[in-house]
Chains A and B, each alone.
Chain A
Amino acid sequence: MRRIIKASMEDISSMERFQFSLRCAVCGSLWESQPARFSKAGMQPESEGKRVIFQALYQREREDVFERAATEAMEYFSLCPICKRLVCDRCFLLGEDIDLCTDCAAFLQEHGEPVEGLSAENR
């Protein structure tokens, strides 16, 4: 699941901060991870050596934030067992026999309750 999410996430980072996004395959809504500031943001490397170091730091911090973003996305996205797409909790239904996305449910004429709806009710 983590591997699938990581493969689907987009990098919307800048030189100042790291952030990743994931789009629901059904409703198209965009989920963005919590932004994380680059530790050297706003600083200009004084030399070529510093620049190489900044770049290495940037890559390392980006990897860390990418892993955290994947964990965060796993909170809200499920994989539809029918169409194999990542969908948000609003578009993922809890069915009697199987959980599936709203598109597949409509196509297969299955019924279910969306996760986010149920969560909100229980909340």
Chain B
Amino acid sequence: MRSIRNAIHNPYAASHSMGVRLLLYWFTMALLLVAAILSILMAMGVLSHPARQLASALDIQQRNTYAALDAQMDELTAHGVAMSEKLGRELDAFLAAKGIPFDALNDDPKTIAELEKRLYAPLSSTLSAASCSGIFFCLNVTANTALPNADALRAGLYLRYSGLQPTVASEQDVICFRGAAEAARGLQIQMHNRWNPELNTALIPGSNKVATSQVERLAEGSLWAKRTELLDTWEHVMLLCVPILDGSGTVRGFCGMEISDLYFSLSHDTVSSSYGNMLTLLAPIDGDKLNLSGTMLGATNGSRLTAEGTLHIKPGKYYTIYTDGKESYLGRHRLLDVVTSDGIPLAAVTLVTANTFRSYERGSQFAWFLGSVLFLLAMLVAATVLSRRFVKPINESLAAVRGDTTEVVTSGISEIDELLTMIRERPVGALPPDVEARLRGFTERANTLTGTERTILQYYMDGYTVKDIPELARISASTVKTHNRNLYRKLGVDSFDELKVYIELFASCGRSGELLNRS
């Protein structure tokens, strides 16, 4: 390793085996190759699959969403049951104190108001403790049985938070939505602008079933009314209804909690992620359809999702696709252990907008593409730097061999340095023995040439051809031919081409002068 480190840091410092350098080159090349393969796999999505990453993120978020909604509904049911028990006991105590039967409350608005004031305390305390936007109870009695819809009207108290803000419940204002006016005044509670003295239970889906069924355990008789428009308002709510039993086990009404759209939206904000904002839904799922009109929507920042229409559910490899034909969403859902009043199960749903995810996917692919291009450029730069760093001493050594420089250069590669030393120590101009003998013989034969033949040979050495000689030597072409024949015979060559080979060989050895120096 030390030799490799030295080869990297100071290639001129000392000679290293070419094997070490080759090992370094191949090691670098292998690293670059592995990096390139990883980059290509990343760019192709084999290693970094946006859909797989989204599935993983959705799984995590869905687990949180499911846990939160499941806990919230369990908590509300528990509070509802506890409140029902308190209300039942208070009702019994009130009736006993008054010495009247339950049905005697009909057509007695004064006593009903008195009863509502008494039942306010458990209602208010539960509202403060539970995660809900409103709370109510109603009894199977009415202040005026003569009214046309007296069968649906129920005396009771319905308290709601007004001006909901994403703050703690204790800081919200409580208003009276339903209840006797005397009770509200007595309790100093502000009236709702859509206030009415009694609840119209016909507008609460499934409430009739709760108010009339006989149950042994309160939790069994409780019911989540499907999302519906709140009585006389523009708001939509989901209501938990729990029967109220008297001491004899007779159902005397029902109580429960309200979760409004606004409250749900404020309670379940979007979760921002690289793939877009993740939305939380509490939705009834009927087979492959998600009914948006019955869905409680969390915050919908960054999407156009509204509580209208139906989403068709299409399972996918990595995520489930929810589409209404115009807009698509990607997500997960899981059924809660809750069924609405119309028998459809509720599910916790986590969604992201498909368009947002596609944008992320395209951006991701582009980023990987750009990264790959930059990586390739970096590789090219690295290759250039490496080649210059390692090949430069070799080139300098070759220049020294060619004689371009007089400096003694070491390449830093032991094998090349040995070769350089061998070449340097060899006699200058030394030729293989047989070539040397041939040149010497040629030189000796050249001494036998006549003056004119030597002149013609000189012209040939200067690069002239046979055709040029008559003009240069001012002799006839026949004379030139005769001289040429004599030249070839005396020098032992068979053609002008062979003569040129000798001339070039003498020139390359720097020994042309030997041919014309008569010894």
Using a CB–CB cutoff of 8 Å, the interface residues on chain A facing chain B are 1-2, 4, 74-79, 81, 89, 92, 94-99, 115-116, 118-119, 122
Contact = CB atoms under 8 A, between A and B. Distances in A.
B470 to A, nearest CB: 5
Nearest to B481: A119
A97 B476 contact: no
Interface string B444-458: 000000111000000
Interface of B: 450-452, 470-471, 474-479, 481-483, 485-486
Contacts of B486: 94
Contact of A79 (B452, B474, B478): B474
B450 A79 contact: no
Contacts, number: 58
B483 A94 contact: yes
Contact of B476 (A89, A95, A118, A122): A89
B485 A75 contact: no
A98 B478 contact: no
Nearest to B453: A94
Given A1-B471, A2-B471, A76 B478 contact: yes
B482 A75 contact: no
9 contacts: A74-B470, A78-B476, A94-B452, A94-B482, A95-B451, A95-B452, A96-B450, A115-B482, A118-B482
A75 B477 contact: yes
A95 B482 contact: no
B474 A81 contact: yes
A98 B477 CA distance: 17
A15 B287 CA distance: 121
Would you list the 8 A-B pairs with minimal beta carbon distance, nearest first?
A79-B474, A78-B475, A97-B451, A1-B474, A78-B476, A75-B477, A115-B479, A99-B452
Nearest to A84: B474
Nearest to B483: A94
A96 B453 CA distance: 9
A112 B398 CA distance: 55
Contact of A92 (B470, B479, B481, B485): B479
Contacts of A74: 470-471, 476-477
A68 to B, nearest CB: 14
A95 B485 CA distance: 15
A75 B475 CA distance: 9
Given A94-B479, A99-B452, 9 more contacts: A1-B471, A74-B476, A78-B474, A92-B479, A94-B450, A95-B451, A96-B450, A98-B451, A99-B479
A102 B450 CA distance: 18
Nearest to B476: A78
Contacts of A94: 450, 452, 479, 482-483, 486
A116 to B, nearest CB: 7
Contacts of B483: 94
B229 to A, nearest CB: 118
A78 B480 CA distance: 10
Contacts of A122: 482, 485
A77 B450 contact: no
B295 to A, nearest CB: 109
A70 B479 CA distance: 16
A98 B473 CA distance: 11
B474 to A, nearest CB: 4
Contacts of A99: 452, 475, 479
A97 B486 CA distance: 14
Nearest to A75: B477
B485 A78 contact: no
A98 B476 contact: no
B466 to A, nearest CB: 13
Nearest to A99: B452
B474 A89 contact: no
A90 B2 CA distance: 86
Given A74-B470, A89-B476, A98 B452 contact: yes
A118 B485 CA distance: 10
B473 to A, nearest CB: 8
Nearest to B470: A74
